[in-house]
Chain A
Amino acid sequence: MKVGLFIPCYIEQCYPQVGLAMIDVLQSLGVEPVIPEKQTCCGQPMFNTGCVTETEKLAIKFYGDFKDYDYIVAPSGSCVHMVRHGYNQFFRSNPDFIRMQAATYEFCEFIHDVLNVRSIAGTFPHKVGFHKSCHGLRGLRLEPASERNLVEPSKAQSLVEQLIGIEIVTLERSDECCGFGGTFSVFEKELSIFMGQDRLRDHQQAGAEIITGYDTSCLMHMEGILKSNNLDLKTMHVAEILSEAIS
């Protein structure tokens, strides 16, 4: 099984520890991932701005960088949502492009759906709030969404939930948006921060020490707010928790 890691731009530049933690966990599960050197960004910022031509250029590049892998795994729900669904308007005549899209998995989803692993042995004695980032939640269905009346599996929270000593706190709003929204966080700054503050308050009142999730971008936004306001909370990607729990 040839697994290529897709390291989103903000993880490459700002959160390298998330990528390294993901490798730790995958190796513990017997997967030896490869990191394609020429990879950059999937084009999500362009796509979400409406720049289709620019997105297409990066979709071609992404295909070139990853087409030779059986699976492509990324520690980000929104980037995977981009590749799997955002690219849908391009290259429908190329079956290999479609195969590549379908072979792209979010980290927890890969563990659940491909490796078929339901629990990882480890200890993490902390109170944790789980942030269900929207693109992973509703775009990839990593978790059951609160709007729907369906029995759906939890592919991400369940992975950390069964660690020894961990307590997942109960939030008042189980899957409300944190207000990051990519360029939204820049062009609707006040609202973006207001929404982030609301989310943090929910985690705080629930007694969380750590906020985790499968999308570092949302965590980065919430981390920025909690640091600026000196809140006694920290953020960790799911991969970081799992990596620490198994070490």
Chain B
Amino acid sequence: MSSHAKEAAAFLADEERAHWHDQALWFVRQKRDTASKNVPAWEELRETAHQIKMHTLSRLPEYLEAFETKASEKGVHVHYAKTAQDHNETILKILNSHNVKRVVKSKSMLTEECGLNHFIEKKGIEIIDTDLGERIVQLLEEPPSHIVLPAIHRKKEEVGELFHKHLHTEKGASDPTYLTQAARKHLRERFLAGEAGITGVNFAVAETGGITIVTNEGNADLGNSLPPLHIASMGFDKIIPRAKDLAVFISLLARSATGQPITTYTSHLAGPRPGQEMHIIIVDNGRSEILQKEKFRKTLCCIRCGACLNTCPVYRRTGGYSYKFVIPGPLGTVLAPHKDLKKHKSLPYACTLCESCSDVCPVKVDLHQQIIEWRAEIDKQGQLGLIKKAAMWGTTYLFKHPKLYRTLGKLGRIFLRAMPARLLNAIPIWGKNRDLPEMPAKSFSALHKKKLKQGGNYGK
């Protein structure tokens, strides 16, 4: 059994939880449907967003330089990091130069990608995730299971238990409002004590040198304005050319992510506040390799809304951890093999090719197409596995020889018809709880020929 199939089977063993997980995410997908259908020009917006991103990628050096110049003019220190390691070390250096011991961080999948928390903690610096979901998984010592809803795999009762242990809420309390209030109080203390704030970036505008961060909890705003030091990390794919392009992306992002017309907070930062120091770290970490691969380039259009996860019938029923990669779902499936094809080779097959991800994507990333491309790459690199390869080679041979195909088909039907159905379905060839089709006595060709002979005008 492949790695994902094994993880999937384990997740599905708790049937009730699997259904609950599926429903929770389907609910988000439905909210997204309603929100997107309230925008008459939705499909044009998607196309426009795609074009803007593709254009930006085609002139990336220009836009990056423009952004750097403008941001520097505003007093921001701009750094470049080639790898995750570079990114983490740059941050550590900045923190050390200010003798920081306590950091508050808002949601950033990039810092997850770089393994920043672990790196910083090992150096004796406290780093607190301030997004509620992120804080939940941090207390659980788990990675996020979703890129927008990091603790979606945990029920409110489990959060209640966790908060009872760490935040001393009442035992057995699971009321979301009560728990959120407790988290709020706990996080406020951390915010006030934070010596530096680390945030992600949703959009970086080349024209102005400003960055835009969207959240629902306002935690990024506290994190970037309270402490005297603000560090923002971004992949180079976050660049957009003009401030007015934000109108396109902001219209798409929250609707696609959670079904909200807009998030509670959309903050535009144009440099540090007076007396504050601000740094922006622009990270590559494999992105330039993706940029060079034409078949996979469109992935860099992604705005990390998570809609492809919410719509994916596989993700919904197997959870984020079944992918064993920092980003799960269709997006993770196309990103993971860039890092290590052999390790993640089961992911492109953890997909029915339903193509819903490509249709739901607000920036038209051709996700399903890329999944097919990865499958071809897996075969090309000899990673398919002997059984699959032999099966495909054998059936191809059969399909190339019509007479053999028909003869074997006939023999197969005779054999399967002779087998008692109960015995046949007791062997879970096609899994438990799924019977093989009942075999007809004759094939289509044979029946068709017979009808022709009987004078029916079947297929003259």
Rounded to whole Å, the gap between the CB of B50 and the closest CB of chain A is: 14
Across the two chains, which residue of chain B brings its CB closest to A190? Answer: B9
Q: Is the CB of A23 within 8 A of B458?
A: yes
Across the two chains, which residue of chain B brings its CB closest to A195? Answer: B313
List chain B residues, Cβ under 8 A from A196: 434
Chain A binding surface, main DSSP class: helix
Contact with A along B159-202 (1 / 0, CB 8 A): 00000000000000000000000000000000000000000000
A176 to B29, CA, bound (A): 12
Instruction: Give residues of chain B (253-304) contacting chain A, Cβ–Cβ below 8 Å.
Output: none
Rounded to whole Å, the gap between the CB of A152 and the closest CB of chain B is: 11
Q: Is the CB of A179 within 8 A of B388?
A: no
List chain B residues, Cβ under 8 A from A48: 353, 372, 375
Q: Is the CB of B459 within 8 A of A33?
A: yes
Contact with A along B385-413 (1 / 0, CB 8 A): 00011001101101110100100010011
B122 on the A face (CB < 8 A): no
Q: Is the CB of A40 within 8 A of B399?
A: yes
At the interface with chain A, which of B37-45, B56-64, B81-89, B91-99?
A: B37-45
B445 on the A face (CB < 8 A): yes
At the interface with chain A, which of B136-144, B209-217, B229-237, B354-362?
A: B354-362
Rounded to whole Å, the gap between the CB of B333 and the closest CB of chain A is: 13
At the interface with chain A, which of B112-120, B125-133, B239-247, B425-433?
A: B425-433
At the interface with chain B, which of A93-101, A103-111, A115-123, A216-224?
A: A216-224
A49-B375, A190-B431, A194-B18 in contact; A184/B12 too (CB < 8 A)? Answer: no
A165 on the B face (CB < 8 A): no
Q: Is the CB of A51 within 8 A of B396?
A: yes
Q: Is the CB of B431 within 8 A of A13?
A: no
Q: Is the CB of B412 within 8 A of A13?
A: yes
B420 on the A face (CB < 8 A): no
A97 to B235, CA, bound (A): 43
Rounded to whole Å, the gap between the CB of A227 and the closest CB of chain B is: 4
Across the two chains, which residue of chain A brings its CB closest to B13? Answer: A190
Across the two chains, which residue of chain B brings its CB closest to A133? Answer: B354
Total contacts A to B, CB within 8 angstroms?
230
List chain A residues, Cβ under 8 A from B26: 173
Interface residues on B, range: 35 or more
B55 on the A face (CB < 8 A): no
List chain A residues, Cβ under 8 A from B447: 16, 20
A12-B443, A43-B396, A134-B353 in contact; A185/B37 too (CB < 8 A)? Answer: no
Q: Is the CB of A35 within 8 A of B445?
A: yes
List chain B residues, Cβ under 8 A from A57: 396, 400
Interface residues on A, range: 35 or more
A34 on the B face (CB < 8 A): yes
Q: Is the CB of A34 within 8 A of B444?
A: no
B73 on the A face (CB < 8 A): no
Rounded to whole Å, the gap between the CB of A90 and the closest CB of chain B is: 13
Q: Is the CB of A134 within 8 A of B443?
A: no
A233 on the B face (CB < 8 A): no
A124 to B140, CA, bound (A): 57
List chain B residues, Cβ under 8 A from A61: 399-400
Instruction: Give residues of chain B (1-43) contacting chain A, Cβ–Cβ below 8 Å.
Output: 2, 4-5, 8-9, 12, 15, 18-19, 22, 26, 33, 36-37, 39-40, 42-43
Q: Is the CB of B9 within 8 A of A32?
A: no
B318 on the A face (CB < 8 A): yes
Give the residue of B351, B355, B428 whose beta carbon is less than 8 angstroms from that of A184: B351
A194 to B12, CA, bound (A): 8
List chain B residues, Cβ under 8 A from A12: 409, 443-445
Rounded to whole Å, the gap between the CB of B377 and the closest CB of chain A is: 7
A146 on the B face (CB < 8 A): yes
A7 to B129, CA, bound (A): 57
B379 on the A face (CB < 8 A): yes
List chain B residues, Cβ under 8 A from A134: 352-356
List chain A residues, Cβ under 8 A from B419: none
Q: Is the CB of A40 within 8 A of B459?
A: no
A149-B36, A220-B437 in contact; A19/B402 too (CB < 8 A)? Answer: no
Across the two chains, which residue of chain A brings its CB closest to B33? Answer: A146
Instruction: Give residues of chain A (135-191) contacting chain B, Cβ–Cβ below 8 Å.
Output: 135, 138-139, 145-150, 173, 176-177, 179-191
Across the two chains, which residue of chain A brings its CB closest to B42? Answer: A149
A198 on the B face (CB < 8 A): yes
Contact with B along A188-209 (1 / 0, CB 8 A): 1111111111100000000000
A19 to B447, CA, bound (A): 10
Q: Is the CB of A46 within 8 A of B12?
A: no
Across the two chains, which residue of chain B brings its CB closest to A218? Answer: B352
A35-B445, A46-B395, A49-B379 in contact; A224/B436 too (CB < 8 A)? Answer: yes
Across the two chains, which residue of chain A brings its CB closest to B345? Answer: A50
Q: Is the CB of A58 within 8 A of B379?
A: no
A228 on the B face (CB < 8 A): yes
Contact with A along B339-351 (1 / 0, CB 8 A): 0000000001111
A9-B399, A13-B413, A51-B379 in contact; A138/B355 too (CB < 8 A)? Answer: yes
Give the residue of B317, B359, B395, B444 whose beta carbon is less than 8 angstroms from that of A16: B444
> What is B's interface to A at a CB cutoff of 8 Å?
2, 4-5, 8-9, 12, 15, 18-19, 22, 26, 33, 36-37, 39-40, 42-43, 311, 313-314, 317-318, 348-356, 358-360, 372, 374-380, 384, 388-389, 392-393, 395-396, 398-400, 402, 405, 409, 412-413, 425, 428, 430-437, 439-440, 442-448, 451, 457-460
Q: List 5 A-B contacts (CB under 8 A).
A: A13-B444, A33-B459, A134-B353, A196-B434, A221-B434
Q: A20-B444, A40-B405 are in contact. List 19 more A-B contacts (CB 8 A).
A: A13-B443, A16-B447, A23-B458, A32-B460, A45-B395, A52-B379, A54-B396, A58-B396, A58-B399, A147-B359, A179-B352, A183-B349, A186-B430, A192-B431, A194-B18, A196-B434, A224-B430, A227-B435, A228-B425
